[in-house]
Amino acid sequence: MMDATQLAIEGRVAEEQRHHSKAQFLWVWAALLVMTGIEVWLAYQNMELIRMLSILMGLSLIKAALIIAYFMHMKFEVTPMKWVTMSSLVFCLAMMLVFLPDAFRILHLGVK
Amino acid sequence: MSDVVVQPGTDVYEPSLFGTYSKKIGMWLFLLSDSLTFGALLYAYTYGRVSTPDWPTPFHSESIRNATLMTAFLLTSSLTMVFAVRAAALGNAKAQRLWLLATMACGFGFVVLHGREWTNLIAEGLSLPVFPVPPGHEGSPEFLNAVKNAPQFAATFFGLTGMHMLHVTLGVVYLGVIALRKWFIPILLGLWLVAWLGTPAYSPFHYAAHVLLVAAIVISIILWLKPKVYDASDVEVAGLYWHFVDLVWMFIFPLVYLMSTRII
């Protein structure tokens, strides 16, 4: 009985994916390539470290969001799936960043 | 679209909280845990980068060009992967296999370019005790100073990119099994022999090649215990893994390479 349920859900998911157009994925791919080009250009702009880090990470987050939403089909999943996976991921990664200000403190204090 | 499945012949309703099948949820859970592994490595790199005033910036335009090409390979492989998933959903087995092989080719290109870059960097002096500078190479003063002044640079660089390279390699193997099943095993063994015998003994890839042998053994056992024809759901789940390694690279590329670009 469990297998029949799984097969039914798999069939429904495959049915949904048949309606995804190739053009949509090509646009996302092109956008990712363009953003990569912008990142490479920024790398040669001799910017201040923190500003450069912020811009590059901002672009990376946009690229990651596009990959998750379109290539990994998260945009087409049901709301509980989106919230449970993405909120737990963001929360755990944000917890790591709690300690990042300490790195700036070391930099400013000149601790070796 | 309904998220409720009705069992045929019964009145039992089986609600699916996440609206999808369990294999896919399992892969998502694995990817969430793996993202924490990479998150920790990326965090360690960022911490070291920010807190070290004389952080080396050894990547010349040749390295940046190489890494940009690697990024293009991975992004293109993600595109071919979604086309493989779409072809599988449409029941087009031939197109599905071709797109999977195209994805594998891009992944293979990425690993080759990355391996070439590692080899060049080690020869130039960016070394670890386990990756010594090869005989006959003295290394450039720039890289030798980088290793001396900020030893955490080489450690975090090789740790982070090595972990990612392992994921890409295993991703190519995973897709190979989905696309070719048992016929992929002799190909994998051939690749192992080429990688093992084709690299000198001092190269890190001489020993890392055995990952392919271990993978071939594990695949043989899995296919022997549970032989099956992989369907659209298997392709989609493999695709999730593949997009994940692409996604991780979207953070490694700017953090590791672009933030350490040598501006002349």
- Interface check for A74 against chain B (CB to CB < 8 A): the answer is no
Domain ranges of chain B: 31-260
Identify the weakest region by mean pLDDT among A60-69, B48-57, B131-140.
Answer: B131-140
Give B33 to chain A, closest Cα distance, Å.
Answer: 9
A85 to B78: CB separation less than 8 angstroms, yes or no: no
Tell me: pLDDT of B13 over 60: no
Q: What is the pLDDT of residue A8?
A: 74
Give A10 to chain B, closest Cα distance, Å.
Answer: 6
User: Based on the domain organization, do A70 and A81 belong to the same domain?
Assistant: no
Band (B1; pLDDT cuts 50, 70, 90): very low
Write out pLDDT tens, residues A5-58.
Answer: 777 777 777 777 767 788 999 999 999 999 999 999 998 888 888 888 889 999
User: Based on the domain organization, do A12 and A22 belong to the same domain?
Assistant: yes
Q: By percentage, how much of chain A surpasses pLDDT 90?
A: 41
B39 to A64: CB separation less than 8 angstroms, yes or no: no
Tell me: pLDDT of B264 over 80: no
User: Based on the domain organization, do A108 and A66 belong to the same domain?
Assistant: no
Count residue pairs from A and B with Cβ separation < 8 A: 172
Tell me: pLDDT of B5 over 60: no
Give A49 to chain B, closest Cα distance, Å.
Answer: 8
Nearest-by-Cβ selection for B1 from A12, A14, A100: A12
User: Based on the domain organization, do A94 and A66 belong to the same domain?
Assistant: no
The full length of chain B comes to: 264
Nearest partner of B20 among A86, A84, A5, A25, judged by Cα: A5
- Cα B117 → chain centroid: 15
B47 to A85: CB separation less than 8 angstroms, yes or no: no
Chain B residues lying within 8 Å of A77, measured CB to CB:
18-20
CB A67 within 8 A of CB B78: yes
Residue of A nearest to B248 (CA): A64
Q: What is the pLDDT of residue B2?
A: 46
B4 beta partners: B15
User: Based on the domain organization, do A15 and A62 belong to the same domain?
Assistant: yes
B82 to A25: CB separation less than 8 angstroms, yes or no: yes
User: Based on the domain organization, do A110 and A57 belong to the same domain?
Assistant: no
Q: What is the pLDDT of residue A55?
A: 93
3-state secondary structure chain B: CCCEEECCCCCCEEECCCCCCHHHHHHHHHHHHHHHHHHHHHHHHHHHHHHCCCCCCCECHHHHHHHHHHHHHHHHHHHHHHHHHHHHHCCCHHHHHHHHHHHHHHHHHHHHHHHHHHHHHHHHCCCECCECCCCCCCCCHHHHHHHHHCHHHHHHHHHHHHHHHHHHHHHHHHHHHHHHHHHHHHHHHHHHHHHHHCCCCCCHHHHHCHHHHHHHHHHHHHHHHCCCCCCHHHHHHHHHHHHHHHHHHHHHHHHHHHHHECCC
Q: What is the pLDDT of residue B14?
A: 61
User: Based on the domain organization, do A84 and A62 belong to the same domain?
Assistant: no
Q: Which domain holds residue A87?
A: 77-112
B residues 112..171 contacting A (CB < 8 A): none
Mean pLDDT of chain B: 89
Residue A19 or residue B73, greater confidence: B73
Chain B residues lying within 8 Å of A43, measured CB to CB:
64, 254, 257-259, 261
Q: What is the mean pLDDT of residues B48-68?
A: 86
User: Based on the domain organization, do A11 and A62 belong to the same domain?
Assistant: yes
Band (B10; pLDDT cuts 50, 70, 90): low
> Complex ipTM, two decimals?
0.88
Nearest-by-Cβ selection for B90 from A18, A52, A68: A18
- Interface check for B240 against chain A (CB to CB < 8 A): the answer is yes
User: Based on the domain organization, do A1 and A23 belong to the same domain?
Assistant: yes
Give B210 to chain A, closest Cα distance, Å.
Answer: 31
Residue of A nearest to B7 (CA): A5
User: Based on the domain organization, do A67 and A52 belong to the same domain?
Assistant: yes
Band (A1; pLDDT cuts 50, 70, 90): very low
Q: What is the mean pLDDT of residues B117-132?
A: 84
Q: What is the pLDDT of residue B201?
A: 87
User: Based on the domain organization, do A25 and A4 belong to the same domain?
Assistant: yes
Task: Give the number of domains in chain A.
Answer: 2
Q: By percentage, how much of chain B surpasses pLDDT 70?
A: 94
- Interface check for B68 against chain A (CB to CB < 8 A): the answer is yes
CA distance B159 to B239: 25
User: Which residues, at least 6 apart from B115, have a Cβ–Cβ distance to it below 8 Å?
Assistant: B165, B205
Q: Report the residue of B20, B156, B229, B236 to disrupt the A interface, i.e. the one with the largest count of A CBs within 10 Å.
A: B20
For domain B31-260, the question of CATH label 3.30.300.30 is answered with no
User: Based on the domain organization, do A90 and A65 belong to the same domain?
Assistant: no
A33 to B47: CB separation less than 8 angstroms, yes or no: no
Band (B12; pLDDT cuts 50, 70, 90): low
Q: What is the mean pLDDT of residues B219-230?
A: 90
